[in-house]
Amino acid sequence: MSLASSPAPLVAPPGATPRHVAIIMDGNRRWAQARGLPVALGHKAGAEAARRATEAAVEQGVEWLTLFAFSSENWLRPADEITGLMGLLRFYLRSEVAALVRDGVRLRVIGERARFGPELVREMERAEELTANGTRLNLTVAMSYGARAEILAAARAAAAAAAAGRLEPAGLDEAGFAAHLATAGMPDPDLIIRTSGEQRLSNFLLWQAAYAEFVFQDVLWPDFGAGHLADALQQYAQRERRYGARVG
């Protein structure tokens, strides 16, 4: 949905705010290419949009925000783009922590951290430690993340627990399995937003998205702002969530 002709108000209807919003941030490369700019500048603009989305989520009263920043498949991109992304990640991990602490945002990173190397892993851990007392928003950033790999790792962990005698397979339920996922302790997303006009999950939160509502917006991620989030929240407020149950 495009907001070009009718910008949404910056505040969603009261009492209708989803507890957990997840966003597939798509369109950095196309945004840069449309402007004749290097892809690196598209990613930089995308990082600024992530900041705006976080601030808007705090203002809207969202408790949990999960941003899909870098998929496990993104490692296949050109080496110079990967290098630029790692530098950008390092810069924002260092420069944004103070603002996150000030705004009461707790940061958590999920995904295959080891692939980023020890220096960036230390930066992630440092940012998580410094923001650990944030209570206004739980911000989760998915980095080198893929839902199929996450589910496979959880299955292996459950199998290992069963083999060690710590788990009775017949007693394993959905909640017990979810405890092995990277998102353990987090509520499932109520609303998933994807930008750039694409309409697919792209291996994001496949287990957790079972009953999520979806909003697809025809805006490239670097142009995403508070109005786009408010528009998505308004659409969510108009949905009737049934969780598979028949009504009427």
Is 194 one of the annotated binding-site residues?
Answer: yes
Contact between 182 and 151 under an 8 Å Cβ cutoff? The reply is no
Does 213 show up as a binding residue in the annotation?
yes
Place of tokens 């490239």: 220
Give the C-alpha distances (Å, rounded to integers) separating 47 from 152, 217, 224, 245. Answer: 30, 18, 11, 39
Please tell me whether 28 is known to bind a ligand: yes
Which one from 74, 188, 203, 223 is the annotated catalytic residue? 74
Q: Are 143 and 109 in contact, with CB atoms under 8 Å apart?
A: yes
What order do you get walking across the sheet with 137-145 strand by strand? 105-110, 137-145, 64-71, 20-24, 191-194, 213-216
Any binding-site annotation on 200?
yes
* 26 catalytic residue (yes or no): yes
Give the DSSP H or E segment for 82.
Answer: helix 79-95
Q: Is 239 known as a binding-site position? A: no
Is 125 known to sit in a ligand binding site? no
Q: How far apart are CA 41 and CA 24, in angstroms?
A: 19
Report how far residue 208's alpha carbon sits from residue 189's, in angstroms, rounded to the nearest whole number: 7
**Is 31 within any annotated ligand binding site?**
yes
The response to whether 29 counts as a known ligand-binding position is yes
Q: Which of 26, 138, 190, 231 is catalytic?
A: 26
72 is in an annotated binding site: yes
Q: Could you give the CA distance from residue 137 to residue 105 in angstroms, rounded to a whole number?
A: 5
Q: Is 156 annotated as a binding residue?
A: no
Q: Is 113 marked within a binding site?
A: no
Query: Can you tell me the distance from the alpha carbon of 9 to that of 226, in angstroms, rounded to the nearest whole number?
Result: 9
Is 71 annotated in a binding site? The answer is yes
**Known binder of ligand: residue 246?**
no
HSE on the CB side for 110, CA within 13 Å?
A: 24
Beta carbons within 8 Å of 131's beta carbon, 6+ residues apart: 97, 100, 101, 105, 106, 107
Q: Which residue positions form the known binding site?
A: 26-31, 43, 71-73, 75, 77, 194, 200-202, 213
Q: Which residue positions form the known binding site for Mg(2+)?
A: 26, 213
Q: Which residue positions form the known binding site for substrate?
A: 27-31, 43, 71-73, 75, 77, 194, 200-202
Q: Which residues are catalytic?
A: 26, 74
